[in-house]
Structure 1
Amino acid sequence: MTNYTEGLAKFIAGIQYEDIPAAVIDRAKKLTIHCVGATLAAAPSPCVKAALSTARDTVGERAELMATTWGRPGKQPMNGAIFVNSTGADTLDWEDCSWTGHPTAGFVPVGMAVAEALGLPGKDYLTAIISGFEVYQRVSGHIQPDPDFDIVKNGWGLCSWQIWACSMPAGKLLGCDEEQFNLLMGATACETPVIDTIIHKQMSDFYHLQFGFTGMNGTMLARMAKRDELDNMYNIFDIEGGYAFMMQRGDNPGWLDRNLGTEYMFNEILFKHWPANMWIQTPLDCLDKLQKEHGFAAADIEAIDITPGFQFRDGYRPEGYNSVKDGQFSIPYCLSAFLLRGEPGPGWFDEGRLADADLLDLAGRIHLDKETVLPLKHCFNIFTGGSFPKVEMTITLKDGSVLKGELQFPKGHPRNPFDWDDCEKTFRIGAKVAGLSQEKTERFIALCRDLEHLDDVARLAECLSAD
């Protein structure tokens, strides 16, 4: 029998802050401030408000462990804060993308809440989110579909394996040992949500709430593991009927121990420059670049033509868009929102403006190549290989001018990385939306830059409590 589960459990239980390269630590700090900013920006969204009311109704207002719900006053029970913050982290689709999903919407809210509630230092938080991600990425890579798998017919489990980005960092912060992690992995596998194609087919905003559920559930499992309340779920990656069988899809065992402890896949996470689906980042950056070079406005545009097309990202709804997610996954919508609504944030997706006549008129003049269309699975394969799909754009203005541009690596890709100013910009937008004071905004940025020296993450989280 193989021993993949034991190897992963030994890695995450044993890794120390000093084992992690400085460049990875720096990236973790930047990803934290970016993710928190994206979460704060989502504070007014109906999805976040629904999460907040559900947390109050389900978890209540007092518990042994308390944490900050970002952009709200005071503290709430830790599980409720995780549910709301994890939901908010994905609501504007602005947080991150790895090769397999949005793990930052799990490990940042979970990591900060658990570290805050337990009064742990910044080094512990950083160690937990990095090591937790390294397990998440290998597990999710392990069960990715085979090359000929039809994800349109059979679905893709982005929200399914997300729970690993929550239970693993929580277990690390709680101090689980190797045996407890082995059992926690078995429990996490058993609590993995089913593949949910209906959310994507009907463009439901419940998609964002799933990140809240996996954040809360993964943390609850970790606390059970620490209390030795789990039994007989050992070696989930090694036994007959294990995780790959449970998921009914690819079994890529080479992923589970791929350069574990020496290769940090954390460095391959994509920061999102815009509040939109990852395959819309490059078209938005290309449009932004052309507008800065030529100074045109939305009213000047006759047509925008883009090649290649991207599978399921060409949605144009002349009658109006059905949900925030429906707009976030549409290149015509997002490019129109950029041109008409200015600074990125919740204003791009205000529910009352999903059927805005000016936006729909402009979106109808944005066309994607119908002959050359990249399947989503092919796009992810390109990203996993370290590259990204190249976009070519032609803008025809009403005066007859024709502008051309091309772009391959959007801002935030590992080959075009965010710097501190980029991360701070996202945070400042979010802090402004959430109504944080200037003092708290600047204090959070300063503490985050020096996070490895922070004695108590509670000091960082308190900056995010609304006045």
Structure 2
Amino acid sequence: MLKLTNHTNELSAFLSGLQYEDIPADVIDRAKKLTMHTVGVTLAARDMPCVTRAVSTARDTMGEGGEAQATVWGRHGKAPLLGAVFVNSTGADTLDWEDCSWTGHPTAGFIPVSLSMAEAMKKPGKDYLTAVVGGFEVYQRIAGYIQPPQDWNLGKQGWGLATWQIFAASMPAGKLMGCNPEQFNLLIGATGCATTVVDTIIHKQMSDFYHLQFGFTSMNGTMLARMAKRGELDNLYDILDVEGGYAFMTRGFENEGWLDRNLGTEYMFNEILFKHWPANMWVQTPLDCLDKLRREHGFTAADIEAIDITPGFQARDGYDPKGYHSVKHGQFSIPYCLSAYLLRGAPGPGWFSAESLSDPALLDLAGRVHMDREHVMQLRQCFNTFTGGSFPKVEMTITLKDGSVLKGELQFPKGHPRNPFDWAECENSFRIGAQIAGLGEEKTQRFIQLCEDLENLEDLTELAECLEV
């Protein structure tokens, strides 16, 4: 096949050659914080239906044997590596609380995959951190390369969030396996060929299979990395450079400049948004704005006559007086999440229990949340704004039953790179999840201490085993 560029080789050489010492200190610090945050929200999802289904499926199909074993976070004992990866990655996304890159939720891939593999292989903390950062940098460039054009209507024409997600697993897995440049070239090719199709039906029908996809892509990406290291892949070279390659396979989108964008000097890792709330990313700012106003004025749900928000957000105003039919349906609804915040208190799985999704009081309150119908941010606009380093600004007006009117506005939600989490906030995320999962105080505190000192750990086994209940 005619080779037009050399990007696959360049990315392969970068990831194969990346050393811990090459990575800036602020990026390493952020990787440790994101580890603590992601593990915490995964623990919080321990008993959600998607996670329990993933556990039973892993047990039925993978058994309990095998040399490579890893901890299933928030449960007793270990499982075969692929089973642990499947469950931990599913759990990382189930509450939609982990992260947001402007390309999706890569953390649900690279944190569970890297930590589970590092445990199974008894790798040091520096190797883990290098795989997390390097794997993401390659993932993000490939994801940016095949993003749809600026005028693409994501709501009507679909968005392949799970399409490129598999690279968030295979790339760090390949790094931990020690793949050389040629093996990485083949691994990138195999990952492209194992890519999920654009799954519009999941979003149209609000299926919770959405969360399980992260488990499947992580498991498949890990398997492909093992095949690459064993020399079991062939004739899949240069998928990013040849006619009929990855861009052709993914609807023909091909954004010049992304695959080699400041490779090795610009770390896009610092652009990841840590989610403050268990909800879709475009629900984060309205929730933060409501939280700020409630803390300032002390009102309760019973005091509220109406909440008005501008701008509106495409496909984030879902409301059905009969109730919400899935966890995802609630997570993607601003009216629902604001009402869950006011009536269910502390964020966590209780926001999305079957009882909450059909609670008459919650639905009544959600019906009084009004989104601006004249000024609506299209999803493509939202992502363009985030990609450019900013975020859509939200204005909120709360009318109380006594006639009082409260106004607030907010642009950068907590966790955005311009309003970042500090160590205490990451620790809080972890403690919330640890408490929900039933992790004891001794293991909770030990995990926090080890996570803060990740780069000095000689073997990540102890860190991972802190997560066993």
Equivalent in the alignment of 2:277: 274
Q: 1:48 aligns with which of 51, 66, 76?
A: 51
Displacement of 1:64 in angstroms is 1.6
1:411 aligns with 2:408: no
Alignment partners' CA distance in 1, 2:139 and 2:437: 30
Equivalent in the alignment of 1:445: 448
Q: Is residue 155–residue 379 contact of structure 2 (8 Å, CA) maintained in 1?
A: no
TM-score, reference length from structure 1: 0.99
Equivalent in the alignment of 2:65: 62
Displacement of 1:249 in angstroms is 3.6
1:210 aligns with 2:186: no
Equivalent in the alignment of 1:464: 467
Q: Structure 1, unaligned stretches of length 5 or more? A: none
The one-letter code of the counterpart of 2:151 is D
Equivalent in the alignment of 2:260: 257
SS at match of 2:183: helix
Equivalent in the alignment of 1:434: 437
What are the within-5 Å matches in structure 2 for residues 56-455 of structure 1? Answer: 56-455=59-458
Displacement of 1:236 in angstroms is 0.5
Alignment partners' CA distance in 2, 1:326 and 1:150: 20
The one-letter code of the counterpart of 1:293 is E
SS at match of 2:420: coil
Alignment partners' CA distance in 2, 1:196 and 1:224: 26
Displacement of 1:155 in angstroms is 1.1
Q: Which moved more, 1:374-383 or 1:350-359?
A: 350-359
The one-letter code of the counterpart of 1:21 is P
SS at match of 1:404: strand
Q: Is residue 397–residue 407 contact of structure 2 (8 Å, CA) maintained in 1?
A: yes
Q: Structure 2, unaligned stretches of length 5 or more? A: none
1:392-429 CA distances to partner (integer Å, 9 max, x unpaired)?
00000000000000000000000000001111111001
Displacement of 1:63 in angstroms is 1.1
The one-letter code of the counterpart of 1:187 is A
Alignment partners' CA distance in 1, 2:338 and 2:42: 22
SS at match of 2:16: helix
Identity of aligned residues (%): 74
Alignment partners' CA distance in 1, 2:61 and 2:249: 29
The one-letter code of the counterpart of 1:403 is L
Alignment partners' CA distance in 2, 1:463 and 1:253: 44
SS at match of 2:291: helix
Alignment partners' CA distance in 2, 1:328 and 1:78: 30
Q: Is residue 102–residue 386 contact of structure 2 (8 Å, CA) maintained in 1?
A: yes
1:424-444 CA distances to partner (integer Å, 9 max, x unpaired)?
111001001110010000000
1:66-108 CA distances to partner (integer Å, 9 max, x unpaired)?
0000000011000000000000000000000001000000000
Displacement of 1:126 in angstroms is 0.2
1:318-360 CA distances to partner (integer Å, 9 max, x unpaired)?
0000100000000000000000011000010012221001100
SS at match of 1:63: coil
1:115-134 CA distances to partner (integer Å, 9 max, x unpaired)?
00000000000000100000
1:293-315 CA distances to partner (integer Å, 9 max, x unpaired)?
00000000000000000000001
Alignment partners' CA distance in 2, 1:336 and 1:409: 21
Count the aligned residue pairs.
466
Alignment partners' CA distance in 2, 1:206 and 1:265: 29
